[in-house]
Amino acid sequence: MHKDPISLLEREDLEQLARSLLWQYRVVDAFWFIKLEKRFDLATAEDLNAEVWAKVGRLAARDIKERFNITAQGLQGFLQAINYYPWFLMDAFRIEDKGSELIVTSDNCPAQLGRLKHGLGEYACREMHGKEFVHFCEVIDPRIKVECEFAPPDPHPEDLFCKWRISCG
């Protein structure tokens, strides 16, 4: 019987595999967006990106809940689930627990930093992340609310790309 190669890996190799997969995931997403933008235009790429990430948010939350047996509701359910979400692992989002709400920020967004590094300028990610977060949260607990304080194309501090408020009421 053929054994799953992942089950044969030691912890250190599993960690390296996870890091490699996250890197590959980010590279595919980045090049897909850039090629879409070049073939059509930035607005079309942004619109399609928002549609795709709405679906990704929902499917990822469903998979994470089932795979990691997350049953908690509200902000605790969100906190448990988001720790398994690849984009939170890759983009180094920070979460500040204020008790009645969570403040989610990104000061080191690989997508925006990569675009700036290559002279492409920021892309509008507010709608995309908004849909992604809303659909992710709906699966965890439909009472969770997502509010964007700012994200590109909004003006933002030089040291912070976006700021989101997650609450449950």
DSSP annotation of 4 reads P
Q: Determine, yes or no, domain membership for 153.
A: yes
The answer to whether residue 1 sits within a structural domain is no
- pLDDT at position 96: 96
Percent of the chain with pLDDT over 70: 99
Enumerate residue ranges in the chain where pLDDT < 70.
Answer: 1-2
In a domain, 3, yes or no: no
Does the residue 8 lie in any domain? no
List the 94-97 sheet strands across, edge first. 94-97, 101-106, 162-168, 144-150
Output the domain CATH number for residue 154: 3.30.1380.20
With respect to residue 5, please indicate whether it lies within any of the assigned structural domains.
Answer: no
Is pTM beyond 0.85? Reply is yes
pLDDT of 123-153, one tens digit each? 999 999 999 999 999 999 999 999 999 999 9
Find out whether the peptide bond into 153 is cis, omega within 30 degrees of 0: yes
pLDDT at 3: 77
User: Which amino acid belongs to residue 7?
Assistant: S
**Is 4 within the bounds of a domain?**
no
d(CA 61, CA 140): 7
Q: Say how many domains are in the chain.
A: 1
> How many angstroms separate the CA atoms of 165 and 59, rounded?
22
Q: Residues 6 or more apart from 7 whose CB is under 8 A from it?
A: none
Phi, psi of 164 (to 5 degrees): -125, 145
Number of alpha carbons in the 13 Å side-chain half-sphere of residue 76: 4
Tokens of 80: 């448990």
Domain containing residue 120 = 13-168
Give me 77's structure tokens.
Answer: 């359910």
